[in-house]
Structure 1
Amino acid sequence: MDVCRLDISGLSTTCPRRCSCDSAHSVQCYRTTEVPREIPSTTRRLYISHSKIKQLQITDFRRMSALEEVVLSCSGTESVENNTFKALSTLKSLELHKNHLTRIPTFLPAGLEILKLGDNSIKTLHASDFEGLRELRVLDIRNNLVATLRLSAFSSLGNLQSLTVDGNKLESVSAPSNLPSLKYLSMANNRISTFPPSFFASFQNLQFLSLSGNFLTKVPLDLPKSLLSLKFEKNRLKTIRLRDVKHLENLSEFLLSENQLSSIDGAQLLPNLTTLELAKNQLHAMPLRLPGRLQKLDCSNNLIQRVTAQDFQGLQDLKHLFLDNNAVRVFEAGALQQCVQLSNLALEQNLLISIPLRLPDTLARLDLKGNGIEDVGEQELKDLKQLQVLNLRNNKISALNRKVLEYLPRLRHLYLDGNPWNCTCDLLRTRRALMDKGTDVRGGQCAAPAERRGESWMSSSKILHQCQDNLSSMEKGKEDRKKMKPYDSSSIGANTDDDYYDYELD
């Protein structure tokens, strides 16, 4: 194989063709058909990807006694010869993801701490696969073909802290052996419908548990009280009795989206809960008695019809509230007054006919797209001095008084398209006021008068011309200087559907 010379700190060494070597003893190789023989013996980190290496052999790594990390991905590897890695006493991390392995490599070095074998074709886990790996902390076997999980196979892994078996074909799991150090367990996107009694009892230090994307109909009752995060999305829950999990006093994140829940009560029994996600369920009303430390509540895509002050009593820490895609007709004035830190309120795709009154003055983003709002008045917006984003798309608004905008000194983004605008010269004055503020406006098309129907009231030169007699010469000069910039047709998208904005708020 051709090699190129590389001089590092005055020492002459070699770097194989199709590889790059650096002074930190790292080597990266691409599109090879074998592990290059000329890799320097001092190499500590070896990365090989997008190659065609069907089999790994003992001879591939015999000279590399200093290896600490090996990553071989997307290389079509189907098998690993026994003892290939055994002699690498310094190896701490081995990643062989996105290959075609059907079994876990045998006789791995005792000092291994990280083993990642995701996206292969492994079907079975044996206790012998992990024998002697007492230092292993991270095991990732996601996206394989494992159908049965016997945690007794991990009996020798006393230091295991993270286990990921997402995206396999798991239908059953057996009672585990003791894994005293396990903190992170993810079994998402499998076919699990139930767990054996006391399955979780031995995980006394478990902090993060993901069971999303399974066939579970109830939350296991033996979850460890050490849990901080519990992910239960995309299951088959129809009801949940939070009193059954009230022992989870440390739980901070509880994700229950995409189930079949029709109600939920008693979340106040989880005193440290800061995130509760209930999107895409069948809730007809807001959850009752929410915990006072809640910072994020997602009830989007449900069947909620009313929002009252009682729903939000004591939620002084709430910052993000998502109620979009419901059937909200009634939004009680001042319903969110106790939410003194609320910055993000999503109410799009509901049945509101007006902007709710007495919204918190802390709001930075307010999304009201797809309702039946006909008017934008001073009373609704006068207190929103911090508002930076206002989305009024696809409502029934025909006029916008420029005086209303004076109450919104920090408004940066305004979305107005999809409304039946009456394009009078007063609306043009509103346009000028928005330009003066430097607000990024996505305008809309005129519905009236008839001669202007279909034109954009933010960029039409025809409307500008017809209204110019009503402008003072100074105002006209200002229009000429700013004419079509930055609001010309190339920058105004009448139907741009970017409801979830990428920019950051101040």
Structure 2
Amino acid sequence: MKTFSSDKHAWKRTQCDRSMLRFCCFMTLLRTFAASYCCSLPLLLLLWEYSLACPPTCQECSTTRVRCHGSGLAFIPQSLPHSTEAVYLGRNNIPRLSARDLKRLDNLSVLFLDNSGLVRVEPRSLTQLQKLHCLYLNDNHIQHLQPGTFQGLSGLSCLHLQHNKLVSLTKGIFTHLAALRSLHLQGNRLQDLGHAVFSDLTNLRSLNLANNRISALSSSVFAGLGNLEFLHLEENRLSQIPSGVFAALGNLKRLDLSLNPIGTVPSFAFRGLRRLQYLFMEGAGVTHVHHDGFADLDSLRQLTLSRNFLHSVHDESFCLLTHLRYLHLDRNDISHIGVDAFKGMSGSLRFLNLRENKLTSLHPDVLQPLLPLTQVQVAGNPWNCSCALLPLQIWLTTTSSIKMNIQCQFPLHLKGRFFNYVNIHELGKCPSPNASATTLGSVSLITRTEERLETTTPSPRSTTYRHQPQSARAIAVEQNSAREKLRAVETLQTTPVLPLQLPAQAPPRKVTLLSGERREGAQEPLSVKPTPMCEHRLARLNEAFNILLAFLVIACALLLALLYKVLALRHRLKMAGGRSVIEYFSFYHSSHYSVSEANRPPPLPQPLSLPAPVPHPQPLPLPPPPHHVTGADVPVYSRIGKTAPLKHYNGNRTQVILFEHSVL
């Protein structure tokens, strides 16, 4: 019995050992399999990733860029690499965009789906594209956008939806686009923008709503756009500008309202736009501008009112634009400009465009306060070159630096000619200009001189020669002398560009001498002073002469220095040729060395003169090696090497000029 129990225990121990052995083997196998699986899993994933490929019709396919532009695709390929950052799918036929189309492209930053026949974008179809920066959905057939369409695009900065068929925008479409900076909606069919539809776009900088069908703007349509800088509303159907509609756009710099049937600019139409710099209202049908129409535009630099229906410019139209630099009023119906129309911008206006209007004359007081003004464009106006335009031309050619070319249209015999080349005699009998108003210019001087001569000299018809003390010859001499002095006065006063030309032959007058004692009742003698224009040009000529003189002095100094160098070099070459040596100039100093000849022939034996036996000739001492040189420049010579004799002195002495690191 005891033996049986012991065998039973032994059998149990054997079974236990076998079970433990099986368990250990199983765990070993499991551990080996797990290790091999963990090592091969990344390799398998990598191979699967690179096994993905683009359709064969694509132009470019890499790990970061896929270009399938115009490839005839009907859907977005699912085999694109996971690391793709830019996808170009324009000009295809993809009618629908769903969430499964882009589920693997979570690294995408730029997506082009322009002109791809897209009709519907499902909500949350772009949720996984959290790294997307630019989305191009333009030139498609999208008619409606539902709330949540752009959900998840928290990093989107530019969105292109132009040239679609959008009719309206409801609130909540742009809720998740807090980082958006540029929104393009031009070329759609928008009629109603909705209430505060852009309120969530707090970082928006540019908004383009051009070429739509917007007919009215609500007072809160631009609420929340405090950082907007560029707003395009051209080519819409806006018939009026409500007061304060742009009040929320405090940082706006550019506003375009061109090609809208606005008609009238009401008071405070642009209230709140204190930082606006450019305002465009070209072809807006503007017929009248209220005197407070451009209030609050303290920073405006350019105003464009071209192609409108303005008939006149009143004194209050632009009085508040104190910083305006460029004013475009071309292609209107302006026939009258008030004297103080541009007085408010007297210190800032530089360019004035008055082309293709209906101006026939212009008073010089309109432009006289505009000191910075340099150019005025007046082509295409029916200018009447008569005596009424004479004061303007005198002011332009004497005291002003404004460039203004007036081309005559009336009268007919002057049509097509520029007014500054018209002879004063061709204008007919013009009344004498006021001496106090036009005291400058050659024309005013000549006119006033003629008036003086007429007042101080009796007419030929009323002169009686019964008590005339002088002879006819003396009178002729006196008249010739007066004419010569008159020509001298005219020559001194004439500016480089004459506004008008005097007739070749003046009517005969009996004149008195301009010099000598002044007769009783005669006017003060004329003072010949240079005009401000002449002074300005003279100062510029003096400045140019000083600059030219300085350049001439510098050129002469350089020429003399060069000549000195040439002469010095010539002298050195002569000296070197006379001594049969060569001189070389560099930053290493030259030295002279004395060496012994290396190959001297042995002396010949002398003939026997005595009976004594001839002694054997003693050998001469060997010359020093080529590198044995005496002097202070032994280290230098040791670096250079062997010498070459240039000229022999006293049989076995050689003068050598060494040049270190030089090539002769």
Shorter-chain TM-score bucket reads: 0.5 to 0.7
The letter for the 1-side match of 2:253 is: Q
Aligned partner of 2:103 in structure 1 is 62
User: What is the aligned counterpart of 2:181 among 116, 123, 137?
Assistant: 137
Q: Following the alignment from structure 2 to structure 1, what is the Cα–Cα distance between the partners of residues 112 and 406? A: 46
Aligned partner of 2:454 in structure 1 is none
Q: Following the alignment from structure 1 to structure 2, what is the Cα–Cα distance between the partners of residues 348 and 26? A: 61
Unaligned runs of 5+ in 2: 1-49, 423-494, 499-664
User: What is the aligned counterpart of 2:150 among 82, 107, 130?
Assistant: 107
Given that 2:66 and 2:87 are in contact with CA atoms closer than 8 Å, whether structure 1 keeps it comes out as yes
Aligned partner of 1:296 in structure 2 is 351
The letter for the 2-side match of 1:182 is: L
Q: Following the alignment from structure 1 to structure 2, what is the Cα–Cα distance between the partners of residues 346 and 43? A: 62
Once the 2 structures are TM-superposed, how far is the Cα of residue 301 of structure 1 from its aligned partner? 2.1
1:310 partnered with 2:365 = yes
Aligned partner of 2:47 in structure 1 is none
Given that 2:352 and 2:377 are in contact with CA atoms closer than 8 Å, whether structure 1 keeps it comes out as yes
Once the 2 structures are TM-superposed, how far is the Cα of residue 13 of structure 1 from its aligned partner? 8.0
1:178 partnered with 2:224 = yes
The range that moved more, 121-130 or 309-318, is 309-318
Given that 1:228 and 1:253 are in contact with CA atoms closer than 8 Å, whether structure 2 keeps it comes out as yes
User: What is the aligned counterpart of 2:284 among 222, 235, 249?
Assistant: 235
Structure having the larger proportion of residues in helix? 2
The letter for the 1-side match of 2:156 is: L
Q: Following the alignment from structure 1 to structure 2, what is the Cα–Cα distance between the partners of residues 187 and 130? A: 20
Aligned partner of 2:419 in structure 1 is 356
> Taking structure 1 as reference, are residues 12 and 311 closer, same or farther at Cα in structure 2, changes over 3 Å only?
farther
Once the 2 structures are TM-superposed, how far is the Cα of residue 216 of structure 1 from its aligned partner? 1.3
Given that 2:186 and 2:209 are in contact with CA atoms closer than 8 Å, whether structure 1 keeps it comes out as yes
The 5 A counterparts of 1:326-341 are 326-330=381-385, 332-336=392-396, 340=401
The letter for the 1-side match of 2:128 is: A
- The superposition leaves residues 419-471 of structure 1 with CA deviations (integer Å, 9 ceiling, x where unpaired) of xxxxxxxxxxxxxxxxxxxxxxxxxxxxxxxxxxxxxxxxxxxxxxxxxxxxx
Given that 2:174 and 2:201 are in contact with CA atoms closer than 8 Å, whether structure 1 keeps it comes out as yes
Given that 2:212 and 2:236 are in contact with CA atoms closer than 8 Å, whether structure 1 keeps it comes out as yes
The letter for the 1-side match of 2:235 is: N
Does the residue aligned with 2:365 lie in a helix, a strand or coil?
helix
The 5 A counterparts of 1:196-207 are 196-207=242-253
Once the 2 structures are TM-superposed, how far is the Cα of residue 190 of structure 1 from its aligned partner? 0.9
Given that 2:307 and 2:332 are in contact with CA atoms closer than 8 Å, whether structure 1 keeps it comes out as yes
Does the residue aligned with 1:154 lie in a helix, a strand or coil?
coil
Once the 2 structures are TM-superposed, how far is the Cα of residue 119 of structure 1 from its aligned partner? 0.5
1:85 partnered with 2:142 = no
1:46 partnered with 2:87 = yes
Aligned partner of 1:278 in structure 2 is 329
- The superposition leaves residues 246-276 of structure 1 with CA deviations (integer Å, 9 ceiling, x where unpaired) of 4211001111112211122343531221221
Q: Following the alignment from structure 1 to structure 2, what is the Cα–Cα distance between the partners of residues 120 and 339? A: 54
Identical columns (%): 27
Given that 1:123 and 1:144 are in contact with CA atoms closer than 8 Å, whether structure 2 keeps it comes out as yes
1:27 partnered with 2:78 = no
Does the residue aligned with 1:46 lie in a helix, a strand or coil?
strand
The 5 A counterparts of 1:372-383 are none
Given that 1:310 and 1:335 are in contact with CA atoms closer than 8 Å, whether structure 2 keeps it comes out as no
Does the residue aligned with 2:68 lie in a helix, a strand or coil?
strand
Given that 2:184 and 2:209 are in contact with CA atoms closer than 8 Å, whether structure 1 keeps it comes out as yes
Does the residue aligned with 1:254 lie in a helix, a strand or coil?
strand
The letter for the 2-side match of 1:357 is: N
Aligned partner of 1:249 in structure 2 is 298
The letter for the 2-side match of 1:190 is: N
Does the residue aligned with 1:49 lie in a helix, a strand or coil?
coil
Q: Following the alignment from structure 2 to structure 1, what is the Cα–Cα distance between the partners of residues 80 and 400? A: 61
Once the 2 structures are TM-superposed, how far is the Cα of residue 197 of structure 1 from its aligned partner? 4.2
- The superposition leaves residues 164-206 of structure 1 with CA deviations (integer Å, 9 ceiling, x where unpaired) of 1111111122221232112222211111112444222222222
> Taking structure 1 as reference, are residues 199 and 244 closer, same or farther at Cα in structure 2, changes over 3 Å only?
same
Aligned partner of 1:193 in structure 2 is 239
Matched length: 352
> Taking structure 1 as reference, are residues 178 and 82 closer, same or farther at Cα in structure 2, changes over 3 Å only?
closer
> Taking structure 1 as reference, are residues 238 and 24 closer, same or farther at Cα in structure 2, changes over 3 Å only?
farther
The 5 A counterparts of 1:104-503 are 104=145, 106-108=149-151, 109-176=153-220, 177-220=223-266, 221-223=268-270, 224-264=273-313, 265-266=315-316, 267-286=318-337, 288-289=341-342, 291=345, 292-330=347-385, 332-336=392-396, 340=401, 342=403, 352-357=415-420
> Taking structure 1 as reference, are residues 84 and 334 closer, same or farther at Cα in structure 2, changes over 3 Å only?
farther
> Taking structure 1 as reference, are residues 99 and 321 closer, same or farther at Cα in structure 2, changes over 3 Å only?
farther
Aligned partner of 2:524 in structure 1 is none
Unaligned runs of 5+ in 1: 1-10, 360-380, 385-506
Once the 2 structures are TM-superposed, how far is the Cα of residue 118 of structure 1 from its aligned partner? 0.6
> Taking structure 1 as reference, are residues 321 and 19 closer, same or farther at Cα in structure 2, changes over 3 Å only?
farther
Q: Following the alignment from structure 2 to structure 1, what is the Cα–Cα distance between the partners of residues 86 and 63? A: 9
Once the 2 structures are TM-superposed, how far is the Cα of residue 93 of structure 1 from its aligned partner? 1.5
Once the 2 structures are TM-superposed, how far is the Cα of residue 123 of structure 1 from its aligned partner? 0.5
TM-score scaled by length of structure 2: 0.48
Q: Following the alignment from structure 1 to structure 2, what is the Cα–Cα distance between the partners of residues 147 and 75? A: 25
Pair member with larger Rg: 2
- The superposition leaves residues 83-129 of structure 1 with CA deviations (integer Å, 9 ceiling, x where unpaired) of 22121001121121111110236134122221121100001101121
Given that 2:63 and 2:81 are in contact with CA atoms closer than 8 Å, whether structure 1 keeps it comes out as no
> Taking structure 1 as reference, are residues 358 and 335 closer, same or farther at Cα in structure 2, changes over 3 Å only?
farther
Does the residue aligned with 2:100 lie in a helix, a strand or coil?
helix
Backbone CA RMSD of aligned residues: 3.2
> Taking structure 1 as reference, are residues 321 and 62 closer, same or farther at Cα in structure 2, changes over 3 Å only?
farther
Q: Following the alignment from structure 2 to structure 1, what is the Cα–Cα distance between the partners of residues 120 and 409? A: 56
Does the residue aligned with 1:297 lie in a helix, a strand or coil?
strand
Aligned partner of 1:94 in structure 2 is 135
The letter for the 1-side match of 2:166 is: I
TM-score scaled by length of structure 1: 0.63
